[in-house]
Amino acid sequence: MISLQYAAALATLLLATANAATPTSSYLPQSSPAFLPKFSAPTGVITAWPPANTAAALPSGPLSTAAFTLSGYPAMNEVVKNAATDPNIVPVIAAIDWTKVPNIPPTNDTIGASYPSSDPNCWWTKGGCVTPKISYIPQDIYYCPTPGTWGLTYDDGPMYYYPVTAENSKWAEPNLYDYLLNHNNQKADLFYIGSKVMGAPAAAQRGLNDGHVICSHTWSHPSMTTLTNAEVVAEFYYSLRMMKEVLGITPKCWRPPYGDVDDRVRAIAWQMGMRTIIWDLDTNDWNINGDQVAPGPGAITYTEANNTVNGWITNRENGNDTKQGHVVLEHELSNATITLTEFWLPTIQKLYNTMPATACNNIAQPYWEESFVYPIQGKVAVNTNGTSSTTPVTTISGSNSTSSSSSGTGSSGPSVVKSGAAAGQIQAVTSVMGLVFAAAVALVL
């Protein structure tokens, strides 16, 4: 339960938002996922942000070795078999309004070869489309509206290696999380794969406890547009279920593996409570081959990935990167990706206002559990004691993420809370100034 003080503070903010907001388009109404089991709250993780004990140091160093008993999940790293008849998935399928899911067949190489250049399905893989062709789904989040902002995101975590050896452990979590903590307490968005949370739940808990924003990156990391509807539902379901059981949160954000999303997949994700986040800069770190410590099947060298980032940095130093901020795709995936990000982060922090991509898009509440209220760009989060900053928001998403209504509360326990929101899915707690600016931005996009 959220405190009355906190609720009052939040209500005030939301009221200000409501009074200032221009009604958004008629997005499908959303609700927090009611299909997840009623897990008891997990131990070892925070239940709010800022955490109740703000004076306590954030965790660092070796991970907890607390045991987890996780059952009822499909095989790790595999697309769910027989999803259409999976007893966990059947009720979720029944809860989705399929009249609002475009009848787009799963993609394959044949379809890809003959796909029309008009891009009727807003298939990102084919042309980088981020604005759905269906009106009731918002635009993907893919950049930071404010120039000079770097939206820091890491996919494919939490990172761990088996077998656990001294060498492997040097690079696995909490390596990156400790590094971020020791470098200005840097926060990021972490797009977790459900299977990997199952493999490294303590690392996932560290990510949440350190104040990073956790989003879904599916259960097994497939190309989502190649899956059947039931398989898409299952990939989302088991990812959400894993994060609810281990972390006690239900993310409103997800990122498609390989960026492979179309309006069919977007519509299913949206009805399961999540908005799509892409990127506008790709380090290609995921594609680095084995010239670093970790061997990989990649197609580029570490030097090539390094040169890519160096090019962005040089561009910024030369005063040429002034049109918009960026959402940058990086990975906690291998020795090479960790090396690359840790090498560049201090420079990036000097040149850019560095924050999670959700923060630069003014998404304060990225989970359906509303006790988590994160700082957003130009604004300090509401504290759990009810006080809040009145620092004006300097900008807001150029996409249609603003909403004038509050979703339900769900600070703990099962996610069964219905949303009152009929518009934007991710709530942006914003100031009047921010919304006015947002309208201006929207007009010129």
Interface contacts to Zn ion, rule CB under 5 A: 155-156, 257
**Could you give the CA distance from residue 384 to residue 248 in angstroms, rounded to a whole number?**
18
**Could you give the CA distance from residue 84 to residue 328 in angstroms, rounded to a whole number?**
35
**Could you give the CA distance from residue 246 to residue 243 in angstroms, rounded to a whole number?**
5
Cis, peptide link before residue 163, omega less than 30° from 0: yes
Report yes or no: 272 and 233 within 8 Å, Cβ to Cβ: yes
Report yes or no: 105 and 227 within 8 Å, Cβ to Cβ: no
First to last CA, the chain: 39
Q: In the bound complex, what is the minimum distance in angstroms from residue 289's beta carbon to Zn ion?
A: 17
Q: In the bound complex, what is the minimum distance in angstroms from residue 61's beta carbon to Zn ion?
A: 27
Helix-then-strand count for the chain, H and E: 14, 8
What is the SS3 string spanning 217-255? Answer: CCCCCCCHHHCCHHHHHHHHHHHHHHHHHHHCCCECEEC
Q: In the bound complex, what is the minimum distance in angstroms from residue 158's beta carbon to Zn ion?
A: 13
- Nearest by Cα to 441 from 433, 16, 316: 433
Q: In the bound complex, what is the minimum distance in angstroms from residue 157's beta carbon to Zn ion?
A: 9
Closest residue by beta carbon to Zn ion: 155
Nearer to Zn ion, 156 or 262 (CB): 156
What is the SS3 string spanning 76-94? Answer: CCCCCCCHHHCCCCHHHHH
**Could you give the CA distance from residue 352 to residue 283 in angstroms, rounded to a whole number?**
16
Q: How many CB atoms lie within 10 A of CB 67?
A: 7
Residues with Cβ within 8 Å of residue 171, at least 6 apart in sequence: 159, 161, 293, 294, 334, 335, 338
Q: Provide the sign of the torsion angle of the four alpha carbons 242, 244, 249, 250, taken in this order.
A: positive
Strand partners, 288: 300
Q: In the bound complex, what is the minimum distance in angstroms from residue 116's beta carbon to Zn ion?
A: 27
Q: In the bound complex, what is the minimum distance in angstroms from residue 285's beta carbon to Zn ion?
A: 11
Catalytic positions: 155, 331
- Nearest by Cα to 398 from 131, 214, 119: 131
Q: In the bound complex, what is the minimum distance in angstroms from residue 294's beta carbon to Zn ion?
A: 16
Nearer to Zn ion, 130 or 159 (CB): 159
Q: Check residue 372 and report its DSSP letter.
A: B
Distances (CA, A) of 431 to 103, 227, 379, 385, 393: 39, 41, 9, 20, 6
Nearer to Zn ion, 155 or 245 (CB): 155
Q: How many Cα atoms within 13 Å fall on the side-chain side of residue 183? A: 21
Nearer to Zn ion, 156 or 321 (CB): 156
Nearer to Zn ion, 334 or 353 (CB): 334
**Could you give the CA distance from residue 30 to residue 367 in angstroms, rounded to a whole number?**
13
Question: Is 55 exposed, middle or buried, given 0-12, 13-18 or 19+ CB atoms closer than 10 A?
Answer: exposed
Nearer to Zn ion, 156 or 260 (CB): 156
